[in-house]
């Protein structure tokens, strides 16, 4: 038999084998997807049977957020303070975990746990035609923080301060316990305080999320444990909460769940449920 003919036969056999393997993988994927869909439907049905309705479109398809850790980046803080305050800054160390930077424009103080406070000379940060919310988000960007506006509050009396409340976004999702307030007096920013996180993240491979159906079961059992009741889940928003100690900050993925009675946070690593305030913190 000629070698070219043998080669053709071998190639045909390999092609048939590859097609068979592809078909097997596709069938397995379809079975897995079908099993996942059935598990989701059963979890939604379980809630309905216990008096809690949930629209399918409000339920995340899968757990896409993974736990991360982020190291404290003091170099970034020093640079951000210099850019924000518009020039060279003096540094003052209150301790190994608290650093203050200042110049004639004002001052800003950073803590290891992510909290910070800044005070500025009136006139240093004028609105210059911008809204307080737009100005506030620009200031946060200077500090290395992507943010979203939550609320704008102004006192009832004349010439009262305007307070803009923002929340940090991390990789386009909210960090629920990182709220930042910016205070405007007249048409100038005079103060900022809150909690922020910057730095290079690393995946925490020691922890993995639970499944979407398990999260729904945990939500119901958490409600029972808390002694709460609801009849409807209106919205589920995936995001993060942070915790900080002596080492890197930990980003834990959570669901912020809004019901017809109140709001909750569900830890999607452990399934633990806790009450949350209406601002998403």
pLDDT digits (tens, 9 = 90+) for 162-219: 999 999 999 999 999 999 999 999 889 999 999 999 888 999 888 899 999 999 999 9
pLDDT tops 90 at residue 38: no
| 52-97 confidence digits (pLDDT tens) | 999 888 899 899 999 999 988 888 889 999 999 998 999 998 888 8
Tokens of 180: 């930042």
Residue 98 β-bridge partners: 95, 111
d(CA 192, CA 161): 13
What pLDDT is attached to residue 278? 60
Positive or negative: CA dihedral 145, 146, 152, 157 = positive
Locus of tokens 């900050």: 249
Locus of tokens 């452990």: 270
Helices then strands, each counted (H, E), the chain = 4, 15
User: Who wins on pLDDT, 214 or 41?
Assistant: 214
d(CA 237, CA 58): 9
| 244-275 confidence digits (pLDDT tens) | 766 788 999 999 999 999 999 999 999 999 99
Burial class (CB in 10 A: 0-12, 13-18, 19+), 165: middle
In which band, very low, low, confident or very high, does the pLDDT at 280 lie, cut at 50, 70 and 90?
A: low
Three-state SS at 89? coil
Enclosing H/E stretch for 99: strand 98-103
Specify the DSSP class assigned to residue 117: E
Enclosing H/E stretch for 21: helix 3-49
């Amino acid at each position: 038999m000629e070698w070219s003919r043998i080669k053709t036969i071998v190639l045909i056999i390999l092609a048939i084998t590859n097609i068979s393997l592809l078909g097997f993988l596709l069938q397995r994927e379809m079975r897995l997807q079908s099993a996942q869909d059935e598990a989701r439907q059963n979890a939604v049905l379980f809630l309905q049977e216990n008096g809690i309705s949930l629209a399918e479109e409000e339920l995340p398809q899968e757990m896409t957020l993974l736990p991360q850790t982020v190291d404290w980046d003091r170099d970034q803080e020093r640079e951000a303070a210099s850019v924000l305050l518009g020039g060279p800054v003096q540094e003052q160390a209150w301790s190994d975990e608290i650093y203050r930077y200042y110049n004639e424009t004002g001052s800003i103080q950073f803590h290891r746990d992510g909290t910070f406070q800044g005070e500025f000379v009136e006139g240093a940060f004028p609105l210059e035609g911008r809204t307080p919310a737009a100005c506030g988000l620009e200031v946060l960007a200077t500090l290395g923080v992507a943010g979203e506006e939550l609320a704008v509050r102004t006192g009832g009396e004349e010439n009262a301060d305007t307070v803009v409340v923002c929340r940090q976004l991390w990789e386009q999702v909210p960090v629920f316990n990182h709220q930042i307030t910016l205070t405007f007096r007249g048409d100038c920013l005079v103060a900022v305080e809150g909690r922020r996180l910057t730095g290079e993240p690393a995946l925490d491979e020691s922890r993995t999320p639970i499944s979407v159906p398990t999260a729904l079961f945990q939500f119901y059992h958490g409600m029972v444990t808390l002694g709460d009741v609801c009849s409807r889940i209106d919205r589920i928003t995936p995001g993060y909460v942070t915790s900080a100690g002596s080492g890197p900050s930990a980003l834990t993925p959570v669901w912020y769940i809004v019901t017809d009675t109140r709001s909750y946070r569900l830890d999607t690593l452990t399934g633990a449920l806790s009450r949350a305030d209406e601002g998403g913190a």
